[in-house]
Amino acid sequence: MLITGGAGFLGSHLCERLLNDGCDVLCVDNFYSGTRDNVAHLLSNPRFELLRHDVTFPLYVETDEIYNLACPASPIHYQRDPVQTTKTSVHGAINMLGLAKRTKAKILQASTSEVYGDPEIHPQREGYWGHVNPIGIRSCYDEGKRCAETLFFDYHRQHQLEIKVVRIFNTYGPRMHPNDGRVVSNFIVQALCGENITIYGDGSQTRSFCYVDDLIDGFVRMMASPFDLTGPINMGNPVEITIKELAETVLKMVGGPSKLIFQALPQDDPKQRQPDITLAHETLGWQPNIKLEQGLEKTVAYFRARLEI
């Protein structure tokens, strides 16, 4: 199993799951947003291999299955070098699809709910084409992922490649980067440090948060599905919560002197985000099982240990 972005938040959990399932795992990462620490505990496993490599360059290895997770996923990271973000999504997809074609490997693309942009339908289902600003500050990620999906389906049609495309909705859990700007890690770190919790906008915008173990189970089920189940398929938790409610939940869980403060909403920030997971449930028997409070407790414990608070 080849996992690009394997030292990232999602990738490291996927490496762990596949090793536990008895697979040989080649973890590929350039450590732009991932970190060696995320997979350090796996290095002693004889079935695990770590390779520093940037997927915008071709990779020549042998593999049976490819999970293409390589791309910075938080606004802070992907906006730092937007040209490289687009290259990672597009050139990375081309290189991994080329590798899959040569080795006759199955390949899964970690796409994103951001392909729906600031959606005009709610909840979002796979047949919706999206409402995306193609020239905004989030476009490098949104449009990069949309183009990657195009490439996957063209390789499938043109070369009969076995593809799996998963659209990931907000995921959280241990090994999130503490400074990646994502709302769950932001709120937890600010609360643990006794800082005020920053909410952008009035907090009425909604998200749906899926715990990482549930998502990884969905990846594995999707990869094992029949040839004709290509996706795209939504994966996320359909339970919707406002950002203000999330902040209040974290604050109640952590305690401390933090207060909620409000700042201007960033450009193109979606007002609603909720997956319709009917397709995943009907075709894969998949649905998330871990409730938000359970997942947040595990995530708070991780950050408390990491920050030594």
CA–CA separation, 277 vs 90, rounded Å? 26
Active site residue 141: yes
- Please, where are the H alpha helices in 39-134? 75-80, 82-103
**176, HSE (Cβ side, Cα atoms, 13 Å):** 30
Active-site residue among 141, 155, 172, 211?
141
User: Are 145 and 71 within 8 A, CB to CB?
Assistant: yes
Question: Tens of pLDDT along the chain (309 residues)?
Answer: 999 999 999 999 999 999 999 999 999 999 999 999 999 999 999 999 999 999 999 999 999 999 999 998 878 888 889 999 999 999 999 999 999 999 999 999 999 999 999 899 999 999 999 999 999 999 999 999 999 999 999 999 999 999 999 999 999 999 998 888 789 999 999 999 999 999 999 999 999 999 999 999 999 999 999 999 999 999 999 999 999 999 999 999 999 899 999 998 877 677 888 999 999 999 999 999 999 999 999 999 999 999 876
Spacing of C-alpha 145 from chain mean position: 12
User: Would you mind telling me the total number of residues written for the chain in this entry?
Assistant: 309
Query: 185: left (phi > 0), else alpha (psi -120 to 50), else beta?
Result: alpha
As a whole number of angstroms, the distance between CA 233 and CA 264 comes to: 33
**Structural tokens at position 74:** 């938080």
Rounded distance between C-alpha atoms, residue 142 and residue 156, angstroms: 22
CA-wise closest residue to 123 among 271, 233, 273, 231:
273
Q: State how far the Cα of 34 lies from the Cα of 71, in Å rounded to an integer.
A: 10
pTM: 0.94
- Indicate the SS3 state at residue 262: strand
Q: Write phi, then psi, for 20 (nearest 5 degrees).
A: -65, -25
Pick the CATH number of 2-241+249-306 from 3.30.428.10, 3.30.450.20, 2.40.100.10, 3.40.50.720: 3.40.50.720
Give CA torsion, residues 86, 89, 94, 99, to 10 deg. Answer: 140
